[in-house]
Structure 1
Amino acid sequence: YQKSRYGLRPMPIYLGVIYGIAGTILSILAVRDTRQHVQLEASRAANPASALSFREVFVLASFKDRNLLAASQAGLVNNLNDGMSWAIFPLFFTTLGLGIERIGVLKAGYPIVWGVGRVVTGPLSDRWGRKGLIVGGMWVQAVGLLITALGGHFGWWLVGSVLLGAGTAMVYPSLIATVSDASHPTWRARSLSVYRFWRDLGYAIGALSAGLIADRFGFSAAIVAIGVLTFMSGTFYLVAAVEAKNPA
């Protein structure tokens, strides 16, 4: 928004348009197709998989395979608390007397830590394994949410935002990688699409569920509830998932 004598007016999202055009150009010029790598991996697989329909892959990735099930629920809950944060946090901080600038700092801290951190955590998951980063990341997010709900001043809320971003950075690339690890090359793309279906569904579920809880019990209760759910999701992953062999 831009201030004018008539108040606040929306500004065209030029920056987003530039990012979109730049991303399209770079994807054409700089990204290489990895099809040959996948074909080589498939030819060397110990147990070549028969062709699976999308329906079969959907059932397998959603319910039957324990690693894919664990990843799908963790991805859903991860994006659930993200959707909750965008829907609830600005209203929550406003009721506590924060202005737009300070709310902006708190909301910006989360994606900055997330975006920068996953550049580090992605390669680490190749070396250390996926499971520890995923479970730890979900638990770190839960702690960040509880600190946000129960903290009494800006410093604690900033710590909560940083922890939420750090936990998401640990989880996000590791989940994509673990889905790839658990999927045969011949149906890996479909498996990833099913995982992303469940993961991105979390945005809508998070915003709606947090709104309903907040309307009935208050903003703090909604944040605490989602924090507890996030911790439980990490615990479920700890119990259900089996660590894949070190990809590196």
Structure 2
Amino acid sequence: MGFAATPPGRPVRLGLRVNRVQFTLLVIVNVCVGGLVGLERTTVPLIGTEVFGLTSDLAVFSFIIAFGLTKAMTNLAAGALTARFRRKQLLVVGWLIGIPVPFALAWAPSWGWIVAANVLLGVNQGLTWSMTVNMKIDLVGPARRGLATGLNEAAGYTAVGATAFLTGYLATVHGLRPVPELLGVAFVAAGLALSLVVRDTAAHVALELARHTERVPSGEETGLRAVFARTSWRDRSLRGASQAGLVNNLGDGLTWGVFPLLFTEQGLGLAAVGLIKGLYPMLWGLGQIPTGHLCDRVGRKPLIVYGMLFQAAGFALALVLLSRPLLAGILSAVLLGLGTAMAYPALIASVSDHAHPAWRAGALGTYRFWRDMGYAAGALVAGLLADAFGLSATVVAAAVLTAGSGLLAARWITEHPAP
């Protein structure tokens, strides 16, 4: 049983208003998706150092590496799997795989269990987040892709931020484990239940394909290998979006691991660190509602380029004001959040613009592969630099890489003609 985008017996139509029921259900599902990964934003790096006694920053960040690698590979596989399975089936499987995660985080007897839980979390996030964004794009059609992706990412990352803030508070009152992590049980239960209710969007994809004026050229390959190559390097705009997505999440992976350790070293408590770690994704999330709409009006490229430069400024500000750590953390979180809110929906919309509906899911899967590989790259770079040169050096590296990525995006990405 489920809610249809249109009542039974009436034709399938594209658009946000006519599909508002199903679209809203998918927004709520992505709140649950974001909430589950938000469990880790504040407490898990500190669990590594304070509960399990890890002394190497690279060892602490190993859970992010495991998460990023697994999520990236799952994103890539998800694009190919949509050719064999319905989006709803993959969405439900993603939730089933996520069931053990909150329990493992709450009661893991060793750090290895935490890393293993992040492998499951990566698969969960790769399937569930990929399917929610694909299904929303399917529903609204080409004219409102920016708004659809903005709403999707806003729901997820606002939940990430709210959960990061709440877990910081709960850790202050109840300790690092198990109370903060058990919030995840509610997210998994609600996400799975709603995913069973949502209807699949295969009919909407078929309708858009039927209407699409640009046919796939005869002989053009649409398999995973060809789409991966086209999205990763052959198409100039898709290449520009893929590298920007990778560097964007490289910075996020770095802040995920480094900021809790950096600001606790400066004397901030768990509640203050939770505020910083929560503010960044909440602004990132809520900001994507207006920026997603804006990129449908002014184009994708300006928001991508300036968003990356805003993020670079946020990293720089964290170090410039580090002698006043709470102010530094809050102002850095504001710039990082606003910059990411500008770039994130515009990047997904740009990839959607340059991909034919016949291979769009594969292109989005490839883009999301590179984007979420940034988590692993960021954690690896952060761990190596922090062990060798200190935590501050990792923040400098993030600022330089992010600014450079913005300039590459300005050079490579072109606007696609409005539908």
**TM-score between the two structures when normalised by the length of structure 1:** 0.91
Match of 1:206 in 2: 378
Question: How far apart in 2 are the matches of 1:194 and 1:234?
Answer: 20
**Superimposed CA distance per residue, residues 167-202 of structure 1 (whole angstroms, 9 cap, x where no aligned partner):** 111111111111100101111111111111111111
1:143 aligned residue: 313
Matches within 5 A, 1:152-191: 152-153=323-324, 154-191=326-363
What's the offset of the Cα at 1:215?
1.6
> How far apart in 1 are the matches of 2:395 and 2:184?
30
Among candidates 13, 16, 21, match of residue 189 of structure 2: 21
Number of residue equivalences: 245
Where in structure 2 are the equivalents of 1:36-185 lying within 5 Å? 36-37=204-205, 39-41=207-209, 43-49=211-217, 50-151=220-321, 152-153=323-324, 154-185=326-357
Cα shift at 1:204: 0.7
Deviation at 1:51, TM superposition (A): 4.3
Please state how far the C-alpha of 1:128 moved relative to its aligned partner. 1.4
Q: Is the 8 A contact 1:62 1:195 kept in 2?
A: yes
Contact kept? 1:42, 1:186, Cα under 8 Å: no
Measured in 2, the distance between the counterparts of 1:121 and 1:172 equals 9
Deviation of residue 157 (structure 1)? 2.3
> Is 1:229 matched with 2:401?
yes
CA drift at 1:35: 3.9
Q: Over residues 225-248 of structure 1, what are the superposed CA-to-partner deviations in whole Å (9 max), with x where a residue is unaligned? A: 11110010010000111112235x
- Structure 2 gap ranges (5+): 1-170
Deviation readout 1:62-91 (Å, 9 max, x if unpaired): 110011111111111011000000111111
Change (3 A) 1:98 1:2: closer
Q: Structure 1, residues 203-236: CA drift from partner, whole Å, max 9, x if none?
A: 0110110111122222112101111100100100
Offset of residue 29 of structure 1: 3.4
Paired residues of 2:208 and 2:357 also in contact (CA < 8 A): no
The one-letter amino acid of 2:315's match is L
CA spacing shift, 1:135–1:216, aligned 2, 3 Å? same
Task: Read off the aligned partner of 2:351 and give its amino acid letter.
Answer: V
Partner Cα separation in structure 2 for residue 12 and residue 108 of structure 1: 14
User: For structure 1, which segment, 33-42 or 89-98, has the greater mean C-alpha deviation from structure 2 after superposition?
Assistant: 33-42
Match of 2:149 in 1: none
Shift, 1:115, TM fit: 1.2
The answer to whether 1:10 aligns with 2:182 is no
Alpha-carbon contact 1:135-1:235 (below 8 Å) kept = yes
Give the structure 2 partner of residue 33 of structure 1. 201
Contact 1:39 1:185 in 2 (8 A): no
Displacement of 1:28 in angstroms is 4.2
User: How far has the Cα of 1:95 moved from its partner?
Assistant: 1.7
Residues 233, 239 of structure 2: 8 Å contact kept = yes
Which stretch shifts more, 38-47 or 164-173? 38-47
In the alignment, is the contact (CA less than 8 A) between 1:71 and 1:195 conserved in 2? yes
Paired residue type of 2:356: H
